[in-house]
Amino acid sequence: MTTLDVVRTAAARVEDAVKVYGAGATRVRALDHVTVDFPAGRFTAVMGPSGSGKSTLMHCAAGLDTLSAGSAYIGDIELGTLNDRRLTVLRRERIGFVFQAFNLVPTLTVRENITLPLDLAGAAPDRAWLDVLIDTVGLGDRLHHRPSELSGGQQQRVAVARALAGRPRVVFADEPTGNLDSRAGAEVLGLLRRAVDEMGQAVVMVTHDPVAAGYADEALFLADGRLVDRMAKPSADRVLDRLKAFERGRS
Ligand code: ADP
Ligand code: MG
């Protein structure tokens, strides 16, 4: 495959990405020449120690922050070529987000939260698709509840349904299970897994939890802003071993 083909087929991609924060003594190189693609139908876990650049990679790949050098693509659109308005539209229409804090709107019902991105975009919801999503997240009997009436796991499942509602090219999730107990976390991870398997979704998930990474098709490992390793079909045990090996290597 040529580079151009990869650019065409990846749901998201960063190429030779560099991100520098600050200047002088406080200058930090949070991304140091990272190239990686996130294809449709693949669940990618991004791992690495605290401060290794995981969130920065996600934010720059998703157009929430800009690179200092290199390029970020959603589909074949290079984010650096877009003005703020076009970037906002692209984020709304092509990208789904799930954050550690569920970020639901407390005054809206479950159903209104799920359709919020579509409502903001002025897009008519695809009712059949919404029914599938609501069925998949298992919240059919909670549609008229407010987020405060739901458990943490239920709230995060609403956030996942919201991220999927507009059939985005890619869903980015930053520590989506960080605030959940293991059972609720498993529900959310199972839901992301189904979005990949049954809907062909591209999912990119930042996590430091080897169990969470075990749901992914591939795990990427960052250290000091560099992509230092990748593992196909990761299992929790193998990921844990790899993380331990990195720590031994660093000390
Ligand atoms: P991770 O998500 O892996 O914990 P981050 O991407 O948040 O790592 O951070 C990578 C590096 O960039 C860290 O050294 C962090 O302190 C620094 N950093 C992140 N965001 C900012 C910012 N807005 N301003 C300055 N430095 C930042
Ligand atoms: Mg982070």
Task: Report the pLDDT value the prediction gives residue 199, as an integer from 0 to 100.
Answer: 85
Tokens of 1: 């495959």
What does pTM read for this prediction? 0.92
Closest alpha carbon to 133 in 185, 40, 195: 195
SS3 30: strand
**22 CB within 6 A, ligand 1:** yes
Task: Report the pLDDT value the prediction gives residue 166, as an integer from 0 to 100.
Answer: 87
77 Cα: distance to centroid of ligand 1 (angstroms): 26
Ligand nearest to the CA of 17: 1
212 Cα: distance to centroid of ligand 2 (angstroms): 15
**21 CB within 6 A, ligand 1:** yes
Mutating to test ligand 1, I would choose from 20, 56, 65 the residue with most ligand atoms within 8 A of its C-beta, which is 56
Which fold would CATH assign to domain 3-250? Rossmann fold (3.40.50)
In degrees and rounded to multiples of 5, residue 33 shows phi and psi of: 60, 60
Cβ–Cβ < 8 Å for 122, 116: no
Chunk the chain into consecutive blocks of 10 residues (it has 251) and report each block's average pLDDT, rounded to whole numbers: 56 98 94 96 95 96 96 96 94 91 93 91 84 85 94 92 92 92 90 90 95 97 96 96 84 63
13 Cα: distance to centroid of ligand 2 (angstroms): 19
Task: Report the pLDDT value the prediction gives residue 180, as an integer from 0 to 100.
Answer: 87
Cβ–Cβ < 8 Å for 205, 44: yes
Residue 232, beta-bridge partner list: 218
Task: Report the pLDDT value the prediction gives residue 139, as an integer from 0 to 100.
Answer: 87
- CB 155: neighbour CB atoms within 10 A? 23
64 Cα: distance to centroid of ligand 1 (angstroms): 14
Distances, alpha carbon 31 to alpha carbons 54, 76, 82, 226, in Å: 9, 22, 21, 6
127 Cα: distance to centroid of ligand 1 (angstroms): 40
**20 CB within 6 A, ligand 1:** no
Tokens of 116: 């919020």
Distance CA 205, CA 47 (A): 9
229 Cα: distance to centroid of ligand 2 (angstroms): 18
Residue where the block lists tokens 């990618």: 44
Task: Report the pLDDT value the prediction gives residue 184, as an integer from 0 to 100.
Answer: 87
Cβ–Cβ < 8 Å for 166, 93: yes
Task: Report the pLDDT value the prediction gives residue 80, as an integer from 0 to 100.
Answer: 95
Distances, alpha carbon 37 to alpha carbons 44, 61, 130, 203, in Å: 10, 10, 28, 11
Reported as type and span, the H/E element at residue 183 is: helix 182-199
- CB 192: neighbour CB atoms within 10 A? 24
Task: Report the pLDDT value the prediction gives residue 7, as an integer from 0 to 100.
Answer: 45
**Near ion ligand 2, which residues have CB within 5 Å?**
54-55
Distance CA 173, CA 114 (A): 16
Mutating to test ligand 1, I would choose from 19, 26, 27, 28 the residue with most ligand atoms within 8 A of its C-beta, which is 28
Task: Report the pLDDT value the prediction gives residue 97, as an integer from 0 to 100.
Answer: 94
